[in-house]
Amino acid sequence: MPNGDHAARSHGRWWIVLLAVCLIAIGTYVFFIKPEEAAKKKQTPAPPAVPVVAATAKKTDFNVYITGLGTAIPLNTVTVRSRVDGQLMEVFFQEGQIVKSGDLLATIDPRPFEAQLTQAEGQMARDVALLKNAQVDLERYRVLWEQDSIPKQQLDTQEALVHQYEGVVKADQGQIDSARLQLTYCRITSPIGGRVGLRLVDAGNIVHASDTNGLLVITQLQPIAVIFPIPEDSLPQVLARLKTGEHLPVEAYDREMRQRLAVGSLLTVDNQIDTTTGTVRLKATFLNEKNELFPNQFVNARLLVTVRRGAIVIPAPALQRGPQGTFVYVVKADRTATVRTITVAETQGGEASIKSGLSPGELVVVDGADRLREGTRVELKDQSPGATQRGS
C-alpha cells in the first residue's frame, strides 16, 4: 500500500506539473506572442488604390451624324476644243492656272476667215447695188403701167426681180455673219471659271473642230461637290429633314477622320437605291474657297441629321460590355468604384449619349477599368482634355 500511495501521489504531481506548464504557455501566448502578432497584422498595408482616369457625365446637346466614304467631284468639267480648223497661233494659259469665265486661252490663225469676211462683204455690196437698180426700175415700170405704156407682165417680172435681189442680199448678210463668227471662234476663251489641266496641244499645231482630245480641260473647283453613300435604312430620316426645307450641314474629313477639311450643305438625294450595296447616294456642295477639296479626292462625309437636346454625354471609352449588357464604372464619393448598368442611345465621334442609368455630374472611369471590380478603391490620375476630376 505504501508503494501504491507513492505511485498515486507521483502521478498526481505529474498532472499538476503538466497543468502548470500549459498555463504558463497560455499566459506567455496571451501576454507576449498574441500582441506581437496583432501588431504585425496592424502593420500590414491595405491593397493599393487602382489609378484610373475619370470623366464627368455632362448634360449637353448631342449631334447625330450619318457617315459615308465619298468622292469630291467638280460641279462642271469642260474640255475646251477649237470650233474652227486652223493653226494654233498662241497659248495664253499656264498649266494649273486658275482662270475666270471669259479669259482668253488661245488664238487660231484668223487670216483665212478675214479673207472670207472680205469676200462676203464684197459680194453683198455688189448685190445691194443690183437691188437698188432693180428697185429704181420697178418704180419706173409702175408709172409706165399706170400710163398703160407697158404690159402688166413686165411690171410683175420686175417686182419678182426685186424680191430675188432682196433674198440674195439677205444670204450675203448671212455669209458675213458666218465669217465674223468664225473670226470670233479664232479667239478661244474659257467657258467657266476653274483650274486648267495639262496642255494637250502646243502652239503651231493644226487643230480641227473634230479633234477628240481638245486643247485643255478646265474643272470648276469653287464650289465643288461631294458624292457619298448612306445606308438605305437612314434614307427616311434624311428625306424627312429635307421636306422641312432645312439645310442639312455636311462635314468633309480626311481618310483618318482626324482633320475636318470643309463644311458644306446637302444638295440632293439620288433617285434610286443601289440594290447591290443597299445604299443611296447623296450629293453635297462646298464653297471650297481655300481649295481644301480636290477633284476625285476621297473624303469621309458626315451628315448632321438631328441634335439631341439636353442629352447625358460621356466619353465612349468609358463603355464596358459584359453578359448583362453595357455598363460603366462610377466613382463614388469615397473613391471606390461601383458597376452601373446603362442604356446607350447613340455613339458618335468618341462620345456616347446615355439614355438611362446615369445622372449629370457623376464620375465615370475612362481609362483603367480593366483592373476594377465592385468596390475597388481608385486613385484619380491626371486626365485627358475634356475630362473633369472630382476634388478630394
Rounded to 5 degrees, φ, ψ at 80 are: -80, 120
Contact assessment for residue 89 and residue 205, using Cβ atoms and an 8 Å cutoff:
no
Contact assessment for residue 319 and residue 326, using Cβ atoms and an 8 Å cutoff:
yes
Q: Which helix (H) or strand (E) holds 354?
A: strand 351-356
The size of the chain, in residues, is 392
Burial of 68 (0-12, 13-18, 19+ CB in 10 A): buried
- Give me the residue label for grid cell 448631342: 62
Cis omega (within 30 of 0) on the bond before 249? Answer: no
pTM of the model: 0.65
pLDDT of residue 131: 94
Give Cα separations from 207 to 84, 89, 210 (angstroms). Answer: 8, 10, 9
Q: Tens digit of pLDDT for each residue in 289-330?
A: 988 999 999 999 999 988 888 889 999 898 998 888 899 999
d(Cα 85, Cα 205) in Å, to the nearest integer? 11
Which residue stretches of 253-368 are H helix? none
- Closest residue by Cα to residue 313 from 54, 56, 58, 63: 58
pLDDT of residue 58: 92
Contact assessment for residue 99 and residue 196, using Cβ atoms and an 8 Å cutoff:
yes
d(Cα 336, Cα 380) in Å, to the nearest integer? 11
pLDDT of residue 44: 53
- Closest residue by Cα to residue 342 from 360, 323, 320: 320
Q: Write the single-letter amino acid at 46.
A: A
Burial of 142 (0-12, 13-18, 19+ CB in 10 A): middle
DSSP state of 83: S
pLDDT of residue 301: 94
Low-confidence ranges of the chain (pLDDT < 50): 1, 7, 39, 384-392
d(Cα 22, Cα 330) in Å, to the nearest integer? 55
pLDDT of residue 174: 95
pLDDT of residue 390: 39
- Closest residue by Cα to residue 264 from 102, 72, 124, 25: 72
pLDDT of residue 25: 59
At 226, list the grid cell. 461631294
Angle at the Cα of 124 from the Cα atoms of 123 and 128, rounded to 5 degrees: 125
- What is the bridge-based pairing of β-strands 378-380 and 50-56? parallel
Which residue stretches of the chain are H helix? 2-28, 34-43, 111-146, 152-185, 235-243
Report the Cα–Cα distance between both ends of the chain, in Å, rounded.
85
pLDDT of residue 371: 86
